[in-house]
Structure 1
């Protein structure tokens, strides 16, 4: 499903019910046999040596995307997580499963928009050479329903079937660059463990989440603080530190957690930058302050939190999974987009009197 259809989790309003007082809690919130062909849109230099092979042929990669579209549309029509699981994996799958659980909390127009059949057009395939040992390939596409441009990663991992692992739409004011290709037209990969501009792609998760947890005082210093994903995280962190939530009846804190997948996909862009796609995650804890806890106040979950499993209690813990996109150069490391989704919520109740 095009992730731009269901937007990154936004500010949600919940209610805390102390005696005689209604307050608001802010919830922040996503080898095929056959002849190989070069990546779309490229004109590779002709070599006298035997043609190299990609991890998948262009024809087979197109078929993977066609199958993904058809199956995703069928899964969305039925809201079937089982069907969706045959074509998606990792963070993307967890986010889209949560969408199905949240379906009844959406407006009719949102449901119609999300459920509308889509295709991916204007495709450009970025296929690594077989010699790289990669188990994945990438594609930049445009969603037919919204005309939004996205980078999709299809990975077969240790299995035989390619599944969509990440789908990242371009951030506001940003672009998804063309990928560098070698003389045979295969995508040039970058080493996720090698630092570029002071940070390795493998360290992006920790650096980004540091803005939620500490306001970017530790690992976060490696990321430029001028892009929208960082500004948004920093703004929410600072508001939580200063004001807590629920008109002062509760605190709000963030804790970095392990993402659904730790695999980072790094490609060399045609302009020389490293384009990295990765998963990230954190929990948010909304906790009634000690002087009110189990005495005069309790948290009532929003309809979204209730749909994801939370009941009423003095503590609500929300789990968020995100897909991040970053551009790394020798001069700077920039987060260019984030796709957030709340995927779970749970509450802790006060013990009952003996």
Structure 2
């Protein structure tokens, strides 16, 4: 997958710079994100005598992450969506496929950095009991560059949580987001049972007044309404998401309308693990559509460079209407009192629909 110092473009939020809309031509560039992975192993809990069988052993989970990194790095090296599908699935795979599509229009140095070989180090595994009927497990790790076959120092102090989900022929990484900066202290302790196995939270069951399954809706609402009346706590990620709403008309010079609407999530997965303090750690995916519409036939829209690879017919034409489809992944916490907070949001354009003025 494309990495921006992490795996699955999932660790960074790329902001699409504004489309230009004028009576004269204006060009803007939409940025993207990337993802990475790294390797390191946390020891099994000493003296733990599991009362029941885990979904998989920690040794098996560790080999799963190793295999993921190998497949991901190979896919990055070959810029291959089909190879990436052997490492990832769900919203993360959709985001990386889209990033590969954009590569011809992106800065070569940024691409090389985003797709550089990586590993996950300092790993800790959270594995549910087989009796839970869960089909996923959680990894806490840090990312590092892979140099001459060996992992270097972690590229930052960021803490990444990754979800691996069972598919027909193995495991795929389906979600990965970070706690970073001043939010590092908010990274929770995952609740374990007496056998050292992860306690899963039912996404649809409320904690206080909020179910974990609400997180995607609350995140999408930041784009659609600016989070008006949102119960989300004030975090850096919330402020960044809201800025897409407050800055949506920048550079349009009054010649076009623009708005965001909630869209059906690419996968709609919500993964929730209970935390030691009675809340839940949540990773999920959401989606929004951004629509630009010229206000009159004398105005038109120019696509940003990184939008053009998605448009097969006349990408350089003057457009009357442009719709950007975004897939998002998010990491948040529902507190024991039911207060939701989002700490990381990844956003990637995955499709662009454009209508030339000549079609009007």
TM over 0.5: yes
Paired residue for 2:311? Answer: 309
Distance 1:345 1:320, change over 3 A: same
Q: Give how far 1:229 is off.
A: 2.1
Give unmatched runs, 5+ long, in structure 1: 31-38
2:240 aligned to which of 227, 232, 246: 232
8 Å CA contact 1:153–1:165 kept in 2: the answer is yes
Q: Give how far 1:279 is off.
A: 0.4
8 Å CA contact 1:169–1:337 kept in 2: the answer is yes
Distance 1:91 1:352, change over 3 A: closer
Q: Give how far 1:222 is off.
A: 3.0
Q: Does 1:177 align with 2:177?
A: no
Q: Does 1:262 align with 2:268?
A: yes
* Moved >6 Å (runs of 4+): 24-30
Q: Does 1:156 align with 2:161?
A: no
Paired residue for 1:248? Answer: 254
RMSD across aligned C-alpha pairs, in angstroms? 2.4
Distance 1:15 1:327, change over 3 A: same
Q: Give how far 1:138 is off.
A: 0.8
Q: Does 1:9 align with 2:20?
A: no
Distance 1:63 1:29, change over 3 A: closer
8 Å CA contact 2:26–2:302 kept in 1: the answer is no
User: Which structure: larger Rg?
Assistant: 1
Q: Does 1:196 align with 2:207?
A: yes
Distance 1:115 1:231, change over 3 A: closer
SS at match of 2:183: coil
Paired residue for 1:341? Answer: 348
For 1:287-306, list aligned pairs within 5 A.
287-289=293-295, 292=296, 295-306=297-308
Paired residue for 2:326? Answer: 320
TM-score after normalising by structure 1: 0.85
Q: Give how far 1:342 is off.
A: 1.1
Q: Deviations over 1:188-242 (max 9, x none)?
A: 111111112422111111122122212323xx63322x112222222332333xx
Paired residue for 1:104? Answer: 104
The alignment covers a number of residue pairs equal to 330
Distance 1:227 1:351, change over 3 A: same
8 Å CA contact 1:9–1:342 kept in 2: the answer is no
Distance 1:338 1:309, change over 3 A: same
Distance 1:287 1:16, change over 3 A: same
Paired residue for 2:175? Answer: 166
Paired residue for 1:133? Answer: 133
Q: Give how far 1:152 is off.
A: 0.7
Paired residue for 1:33? Answer: none
SS at match of 1:70: helix
Distance 1:179 1:91, change over 3 A: same
8 Å CA contact 2:126–2:198 kept in 1: the answer is yes
SS at match of 1:12: coil
Distance 1:171 1:250, change over 3 A: farther
For 1:2-151, list aligned pairs within 5 A.
2=3, 4=5, 7-18=12-23, 21-23=24-26, 40=43, 42-43=45-46, 46=49, 51-145=51-145, 146-147=155-156, 148-151=158-161
Q: Give how far 1:26 is off.
A: 8.8
Q: Does 1:213 align with 2:224?
A: yes
Give unmatched runs, 5+ long, in structure 2: 34-41, 146-154
Q: Does 1:330 align with 2:333?
A: no
